[in-house]
A = this chain, B = another copy of it.
Amino acid sequence: MSRRVRQEDIAKELGLSINTVSLALKNSKRINEETRQKVQQVAKALNYIPNSIARSLVEKKTKVIGFIVPKITNPVQIETAQLIERKLIKKGYNMMLMTTDSDINYESYALDILVSRQVDGLFLFPTNKQNQEKIKMMRSAHIPIVLLSGGNYEPASDSVYMNQFKGAYIAASHLAQLGHRHIGFIHGGVGNVEKFTGYQQALMDHGIEFNPELVVSVDNFNYEQGYLSAAELIPAKKVTALLASSDYLALGALRWCREQGMRVPEDIAIVGFDNLEAAQYAEIPLTSVAYRVEQLSTSAVELMFKLLAEQDKFSTQQPERIVFEPALEIRSSCGFKLK
């Protein structure tokens, strides 16, 4: 980093004090109109750019919000991050992004880093509940944390998320109601447990015995893993329907089925998660559990700024919890009632 232009430089240039420059630059009424203009002119001429680091140190706030996201390959998480970044910018905030690869230790590390960087608040897609204690501590240290994913447990901080249990429940129920009894499940692994339990609950409520052999776990939300999962589940386990934790997984499975000459939904029904654009434009338009990224991120940002505005008060209150209920977007891939 080279020597940048400071307020002191423009002060010297004009024979003023640093203080006057500082005030003039923020258009303080206490400064003479004339000097104010002169200061601003010189600032522009010298290409002065304020040093946010120094400002942050004295103001004790950085106007930076941290964002911790587990996976590259999950489009809803990325899109959420980007929508939120846009909204933050409009309020004069910037975003520091960290990824964890769904590793709970990386998550913990990311939390430390962001605290160290003095972020004013942070968004987090928690992978599981292992860092709950740390999050609670941070909350009680007056750092607003908005969790973007719920679990089968009391959230450690304020949260805004989709009810993924419910999503899996209605998806699996839908398949059951169509007459399917052998419903395979592609488990998204750690961080997707709610979907799994929703699936199990739906089976139970429809009198279907849960069979762990019909579940395959993957660690990546991509086409390939879906393709491989289908290859593993369908021929050996004779499933007639498949619920996948993400649309990419579902579409990978779809591809495998088509390559085998299977008809969808006649030979096998497929349901995905997140209702991505890719689901709608698939060769067999995919039934999918809708994830309202736009609404959710809007709500998350609103909550963040509410907490930020309440200063330290929020941390003595009960965490707020905003849950969006998913809807099943029904398309062709799950078809009609079996006989």
Contacts and interface: CB of A to CB of B under 8 A. Distances in A.
Interface of A: 1-2, 4, 47, 49-54, 56-57, 60-62, 64, 72, 78-79, 81-83, 85-86, 89, 94-99, 101, 112-113, 115-118, 120, 137, 141-143, 222-224, 227, 248, 251-252, 255, 258, 277-278, 280-283, 312
Given A47-B137, A52-B118, A312 B2 contact: yes
Contacts of A56: 53
A139 to B, nearest CB: 11
A279 to B, nearest CB: 10
A128 to B, nearest CB: 21
Contacts of A143: 1
Given A1-B120, A85-B97, 6 more contacts: A1-B60, A1-B118, A1-B142, A53-B117, A57-B57, A94-B117
Contact of A96 (B96, B224, B282): B96
Identical chains bound together, number? 2
Contacts of A117: 52-53, 64, 94
A1 B137 CA distance: 14
B1 A223 contact: no
A50 B116 CA distance: 6
Contacts of A112: 49
Contacts of A64: 96, 117
B223 A49 contact: no
A108 to B, nearest CB: 13
A141 B52 contact: no
A141 B46 CA distance: 13
Contact of A258 (B47, B251, B283): B283
5 tightest A-B CB contacts, nearest first: A283-B283, A2-B142, A223-B281, A72-B82, A97-B97
Contacts of A78: 72, 78, 82
Contacts of A101: 86
A57 B60 contact: no
A247 to B, nearest CB: 11
B94 A94 contact: no
A64 B193 CA distance: 34
